[in-house]
Structure 1
Amino acid sequence: MYKKLKRFMQSIPTKSLIFLGVILLVIVAVNPSFSQPIRGASYDRTLQVAREKWAEQDYVNALDHFEMAFEAKKDESLLPDMAELYLQIRDYSSASKTYAKILKKDKEKKWDHLRYNYAKALKMSGNYEEAIVEFQKFLAVVSSDTLRKFAENEITGAEFGKELADKEDAIELTRLSAVINTPFSDYSPAFSREGNLYISSFMAKDVIVLDSSAKDFHAKIYYSKKNEETGVWGKPEALKANINRPEIHNVNVSISPDGNKLYFNRQVLQGNEVVESQLFYSVGGDGAWKGAKEIVGIDPEYRARHPFPGELFGREVLFFSSDIPGGFGGSDLYYAPQKSEGVYGDPVNLGPKINTLGDEVTPYYYNGTLYFSSNMHPGLGGYDIFYSFWNGQNWSDPLNMSKGFNSPQDDQYFRLDADGYNGLLTSNRPAGKSVRAKTCCEDIYSFTIEKIKADLVVGTFNSGRQALKGVTVMIIPKPGGDPQTIQNDKGNKFDFKLELEKSYRIIATHPNHFPDTAVINTLNLKANKSFTQRLYLKPIPIPIPEYDTILSEKAIVMENILYEFGDDKILPTAEPDLNFLLEIMNQYPDLIIELSSHTDNRGNDEFNKALSQRRAESAKQWLLKKGINQTRIKAVGNGESVPKVVDDRLANKHPEFLPGDVFSAEYINKLETEEDKELAHALNRRTEFKIIGGPKVITVKSTRLLKREATTAADKSTGAVKPRGDSIPNIHPFSTLAGKKIYKGVPILDFTIRETNFGAVTRGEKREFTYVFQNIGDTKAEIDLISACECTTTEYNAQSIPPGGKGTIKVIFDSKDKVQGETIVIDIFLKNTEPGTERPIIEKLKYKFEIK
């Protein structure tokens, strides 16, 4: 028993005999007398020939003679040899039936060591559940660690097959027509740059018999041109003798991505074993290939095969498979760096992530991804197709291409066209005509990968969530690629087509608003996707004029006249505003005003009305005590009946509100945050005055109407400056930090000047200006990007500016495409974000010009 196991272990190949990519169904002509009934010595002679042909790896001839011998005497001792030969010629159905017959009668467990091959035949017939059982039985009797790894790996693959059994194929394959596929094996497809097809084939319709009448039976490289109108491949034509050397196999063709180099093997076989395999290349292109030259630097003794060009570490390499001594298993994948045309350095093994104890073959490299076939990585069948990503230093763990690309049989030679959406592979799955068993021979299959599409719809809105027109939206792809820019003066919708495997920064700009940005990416999309992005642009605060003009009947809010909750007593903080009223009433003796008080809409209507009247009277009494005649002041308590209407000044201070918004109960209830609701209520609680008699217009300093920030007694007594981050810095309206309450943990860029005027510029002339700034915040400022029109180039001296540090931004304006004057906005996006948000801090600069 154990002697048989040992012999079996030695018989399992650790390297594939499929050097051509197929089992070569070639038989040597044998004496025709063997077609007669077998008797006596003829039976012994038949077995002798069978074993001789097997030793020569002439599997078809060997099997035919074993079948004749078995038919003559029904000697079941021949069945194990016949079963193994069925497996060798990939007749999995006959192999599994024969192994089953042997093991069913094996009461003494004499043939348990055959269960591995039986299980393998079952698996490659798609009978995963039965295969798992037989592999487990094999594990129970085998002690070899190597064989246990093989069996355990096969179980993993069979379980994967069971899991996918009821799932849809990952891709739909189409067998190429009989013009391309013959009953014999056709394999090693390759696309030229122009989309034409190259294959390796025997162009045989039956088993090749080597006798005196046999002509040149060797495999050749063929070329087929596709009809552009019908999409049908034309009849293949063999390349000339400068490629297809006579009386030798010319196989495993591949073509470089630029279409200018053709790589292939020339091989010599003995039976089904490749005894010589050398790499060749030719330059030229479709219809113009020059004489083939042998590749230098890769030792012919390595029997290298399946060449394919690629790129690693920034230089061109040649991938290939070989059984070079010292590898990880049977046939490993290698690359050799190119030194010059046709000359390569020492081969480098791709390592244990790619290579296994089994065989790895048919490498194909496309855009940083290596595709290959393996019979050891867990798979659905014999050889499955896998892929691995190259990150610039290492390969990722190989992934199975899954059902559809792979089958229970052998799937190899994965190839894609230049666009990467149409491809080819070879498989011996039972879909076409074959010269022997249904699964003996390779056919070429095509497939089309659905082109994943991605697009982006951007909507632009103001901070009040109303559609904002006149916006320019730009998307910037990374890595590489050209930005796309759309300006829409008529609407707020922007449509973009996106490339796959990119990250995009979206930037929306408007002359009177701060930009808004977002980032999306199209990485690893598995299906079509439409991205939708809403961008909200806050209005740029309008600088407060030095003087305000107050018109008759225009209500002016006295921001410092405040009251305790539910009380009508004037607080000390109200004195600046009351003194202001006192001053203008003394300045304009005939001025008559209405002094009105308002509450929010919470609480009882009558209570609010009465409370607001008492508050208005309190303010009036303060003025009367200062000597103002009571006939000049009308005190009105409005309660909650007159909600606040947002004006430009309030919208500047609170960009979340828009000019014209009315703080009614309905409006406030629709606000998204409790903070915004509370602010609206607070703004409704106000005291106003308006001119109702006397002068129609008066002019006052605008600063007199601003709300005073509270100061502490300590501040007044010591005059000390608060530490950086606690004080409220003077933030320019061109910064999105303007109006914020928190300045800790943010950089603050203080520009000496934010706007400049180039004046009159001759068209085609260039102008330059350098903006200077200092980071007066408590955090390092990090510039992410600077956005401006195509007419503007920017240069900056540092991307990172520490607290207290200074920086410069140089702007170069090119007027060659300008026909009239404009104001150009420059947006500086920081990696730093606004407090409590993920929005980047944005700083604006401007310049303007006129064209002479």
Structure 2
Amino acid sequence: MKNITVVLFLLICFNLSAQSSLKKAEKLYNSKAYTEAAELYDEILVRSTQSDSEILLKAADAHFFINNNREAADLYAKAFVAIGDLDEFHFYRYYRSMRGIREYERSDKLYTDYFRKRNNLEEVSSYSKKSAAFYEIMNDTVPSRFSLMNLEVNTAYSEFSPVIYKDRVIFSSSRPGASKELYAWNEQPYLSLYTAKKKENGDLEEVELFSKQINSDFHDATIAFVPESDVVFFTSSYAEKSKLILDNGRTNHFILYRGLIKDGKIVEKEELFFNSKEYSVGHPSVSTDGKYLFFASDMPEGYGGADIYYCKIYEDGMISSPINAGAMINTWGNDFFPHFSNGTLYFASDGHLGFGGLDLFESEFGPDEKLNAAVNLGKNVNTVYDDFGIIFDNTGESGYLSSNRKPGRGDDDLYYFKRKPLACDQIVYGNLKDQKDHSPLSNAMIRLKDSLGIDYTTVMTDSLGNYSYEIPCGHKITVSASKTGYFEQTKDTITGQVDREMLGPINFLLENAEDRIVKDDKGVEKIKMDPIYFDYDKWEVTPEAAVVLDKAVELMTFYPDMVIKIEAHTDSRGSASYNLSLSDKRAKSTRDYLFSKGIEEFRITNANGFGESRLLNECSDGVKCSEDQHDVNRRSDFIIISR
């Protein structure tokens, strides 16, 4: 009897102790002191013989909120088995915890099974496509465009969300020294804004507290500057008279302020009109043209957790009502830490499919104020941990980002990165054919040159006369086509900005030089010429005649040993002496034009006019003939003596 009494007494004491621990854990959990709550829940679960599903879920949540993904995933799994199902909020946390420990295939199956069970086949199909795209990125063997360097200014605490301001970098940090209180969530000091000087290699030095005018006893974090002005936006905890303002769920939210930078101090501080004690507004970013304010908020009627919004900033400083960035950007998860640079929105998300935790994405912002589909920035810049808060400098080729990846110096760390320019090549292509019979010209040479005439490359046409080659985007190029026995041709073009896009066809019809040489009925070779027209009673070479003569110049240049003589003839109309004199002047005028184009004098033995003395038909004096018949007699012969 005595032994039974002792056992019952011990059981009562144990139960009372367990109930006391549970109440303490719930109090810590409700006050968002998740680090302490997680430890206490772990002790309760170790001592408990039967795990209550509610305790399992709160324990899992506490670990999830402090990024203990392995513990969270294990606890969510046990709760899933105990309950047989999970509500959407806990399911998403379970799913994200799985991805946070690289259990990608298991998380994929978990996700698709969950929605297939709910007969949401559209979501299953959509997820399958996103999953395939993710594995393509994950398995890509092309080296990352990003190279990262951990910074010396990082501490054992959090440093994140950098902003470049003049020659310095401003960032958020929970390092001791500014805030006197600890943030219960992660047992670190409240966030404050710090500034550091940027070194030549991207590292930071000379860290000091940023403007004391915005330093409070609570969170002061994330800041943005309007380009070419003294306007600044920044985030702080919602507080009045050094007391946090809580919503009905005992949650304190963030709000956005606008102010002016004067002599290194922030003055004329004012709240933005869409702040609320019922939801958070923060993470400001201003577009490079100063026309848009981007920020993140969990205001009602969004897509999930935090969504990205933007407002127009009018010339007089007025700000428009917030506009949700839309379904291309926002998800069921958290989408925040926006940064807008050169027409592209960069942001962090745990709702878009990624490597785990927060991943960094980019989306082009179109002229219609619509954002395109989000694209994962890939490996190295993204990890299984939280990667967020990216910014670019003016070059667009380097900047800073935040990550709690391992190994690091502390919690969240700042990293300096360099990004290689995106590879962009276009495929120039076309075809070569003979001008006369349109037969393909194989083994012809294609030379591609830049705007300075420097060769990119030389390629040869295939058996069908086709060619193709890759040329960098955004370049002016000259394409030259040549083949032995043919006149060379060139065409200019400019490559576009879309990688792997086909540019063409750039086709050529090459003229065989021999096709410009004809033989008369006596076997005498002549340069094939179109009629050379002169103004009435004139012998000066007209622009129209120059076009014809240039063909002769081109042929003689092609055959550098060619020697010719020029003979000019008229029809029978007019006096014989007049025609003889006029034709001789025209013959010599055409000869002099060829000399002016670089043909040496010894290559033209003579240039004579024969008037109407060598008619080719019966249209002599007194014979009535048509204009076409007279045209036959008006001619210039470029007779080839040797070549």
TM range (shorter): 0.5 to 0.7
Cα distance in 2 between the residues matched to 1:119 and 1:391: 33
What corresponds to 2:65 in structure 1?
Answer: 88
Percent identity (aligned) = 21
Equivalent pairs, count: 485
Match of 1:369 among 344, 352, 356: 344
Gaps of 5+ in 2: 1-12, 239-243, 426-448, 457-470, 481-486, 501-505, 527-546, 563-604, 635-643
Superposed counterparts of 1:142-157, under 5 Å: 142=118
What corresponds to 1:200 in structure 2?
Answer: 172
Task: Calculate the TM-score normalised by the size of structure 1.
Answer: 0.48
1:309 deviates by 1.0
1:42 deviates by 2.4
Cα distance in 1 between the residues matched to 2:348 and 2:98: 20
Cα distance in 2 between the residues matched to 1:200 and 1:227: 19
Q: Residue deviations 1:502-557, cap 9 Å, x none? A: 4647699xxxx99965122362469xxxxxx9x9999xxxxxxxxxxxxxxxxxx9
Q: Which has the larger radius of gyration?
A: 1
What corresponds to 1:280 in structure 2?
Answer: 257
What corresponds to 2:520 in structure 1?
Answer: 561
Q: What is the one-letter code of the residue matched to 1:254?
A: A
What corresponds to 1:187 in structure 2?
Answer: 160
Gaps of 5+ in 1: 1-37, 435-440, 456-472, 476-485, 487-491, 527-532, 539-556, 563-594, 600-647, 664-695, 722-726, 731-852
Cα distance in 2 between the residues matched to 1:703 and 1:454: 66
What corresponds to 2:638 in structure 1?
Answer: none
* C-alpha distance 192-502 of structure 1, shift in aligned 2 (>3 A): farther
1:388 deviates by 1.7
The answer to whether the Cα contact below 8 Å between 1:426 and 1:443 also exists between their aligned partners in 2 is: yes
The answer to whether the Cα contact below 8 Å between 1:503 and 1:523 also exists between their aligned partners in 2 is: no
Superposed counterparts of 1:516-531, under 5 Å: 517-521=491-495, 523-524=497-498
The answer to whether the Cα contact below 8 Å between 2:354 and 2:376 also exists between their aligned partners in 1 is: yes
What corresponds to 2:608 in structure 1?
Answer: 699
1:152 deviates by 6.9
The answer to whether the Cα contact below 8 Å between 2:310 and 2:322 also exists between their aligned partners in 1 is: yes
Instruction: Confirm whether residue 406 of structure 1 aligns to residue 382 of structure 2.
Output: yes
Instruction: Point out the more displaced range, 256-265 or 59-68.
Output: 256-265
- Aligned to 1:71, the other structure's residue is in SS state helix
* C-alpha distance 433-153 of structure 1, shift in aligned 2 (>3 A): farther
Instruction: Confirm whether residue 421 of structure 1 aligns to residue 392 of structure 2.
Output: no
1:322 deviates by 2.0
Cα distance in 1 between the residues matched to 2:250 and 2:405: 23
Instruction: Confirm whether residue 72 of structure 1 aligns to residue 51 of structure 2.
Output: no
- Aligned to 1:378, the other structure's residue is in SS state coil
The answer to whether the Cα contact below 8 Å between 1:296 and 1:342 also exists between their aligned partners in 2 is: no
The answer to whether the Cα contact below 8 Å between 1:242 and 1:292 also exists between their aligned partners in 2 is: no
Cα distance in 1 between the residues matched to 2:114 and 2:180: 37
The answer to whether the Cα contact below 8 Å between 1:370 and 1:390 also exists between their aligned partners in 2 is: yes
Match of 2:24 among 49, 55, 65: 49
What corresponds to 1:242 in structure 2?
Answer: 213
The answer to whether the Cα contact below 8 Å between 1:115 and 1:137 also exists between their aligned partners in 2 is: no
1:91 deviates by 0.6
- Aligned to 2:327, the other structure's residue is in SS state coil
Q: Residue deviations 1:258-288, cap 9 Å, x none? A: 4854421111366998634222244448x72
The answer to whether the Cα contact below 8 Å between 2:162 and 2:170 also exists between their aligned partners in 1 is: yes
RMSD: 5.1
Superposed counterparts of 1:164-563, under 5 Å: 164-168=137-141, 170-177=144-151, 179-194=152-167, 196-204=168-176, 210=182, 217-228=189-200, 231-244=202-215, 246-258=216-228, 260-268=230-238, 275-284=252-261, 288-291=264-267, 293-294=269-270, 296-300=272-276, 303-310=280-287, 316-340=291-315, 343-393=318-368, 394-434=370-410, 441-451=411-421, 493=454, 502=474, 504=476, 517-521=491-495, 523-524=497-498, 561-562=520-521
* C-alpha distance 130-433 of structure 1, shift in aligned 2 (>3 A): farther
Q: What is the one-letter code of the residue matched to 1:180?
A: V
The answer to whether the Cα contact below 8 Å between 1:175 and 1:443 also exists between their aligned partners in 2 is: no
Superposed counterparts of 1:23-34, under 5 Å: none
Cα distance in 2 between the residues matched to 1:127 and 1:65: 27
Q: What is the one-letter code of the residue matched to 1:193?
A: K
The answer to whether the Cα contact below 8 Å between 1:243 and 1:292 also exists between their aligned partners in 2 is: no
- Aligned to 2:97, the other structure's residue is in SS state helix
* Structure richer in helix, relative to its length: 2
* C-alpha distance 267-43 of structure 1, shift in aligned 2 (>3 A): same
1:336 deviates by 1.7
Q: Residue deviations 1:790-817, cap 9 Å, x none? A: xxxxxxxxxxxxxxxxxxxxxxxxxxxx
The answer to whether the Cα contact below 8 Å between 1:336 and 1:345 also exists between their aligned partners in 2 is: yes
Cα distance in 2 between the residues matched to 1:424 and 1:453: 22
Cα distance in 1 between the residues matched to 2:180 and 2:616: 100
Cα distance in 2 between the residues matched to 1:298 and 1:112: 34
- Aligned to 2:391, the other structure's residue is in SS state strand
Cα distance in 1 between the residues matched to 2:615 and 2:326: 73
- Aligned to 1:407, the other structure's residue is in SS state coil
Q: What is the one-letter code of the residue matched to 2:23?
A: Q
Q: Residue deviations 1:599-638, cap 9 Å, x none? A: 9xxxxxxxxxxxxxxxxxxxxxxxxxxxxxxxxxxxxxxx
Cα distance in 2 between the residues matched to 1:110 and 1:412: 35
Instruction: Point out the more displaced range, 318-327 or 160-169.
Output: 160-169
The answer to whether the Cα contact below 8 Å between 2:134 and 2:353 also exists between their aligned partners in 1 is: no
* C-alpha distance 156-656 of structure 1, shift in aligned 2 (>3 A): same
Cα distance in 1 between the residues matched to 2:160 and 2:56: 32
Cα distance in 2 between the residues matched to 1:94 and 1:259: 48
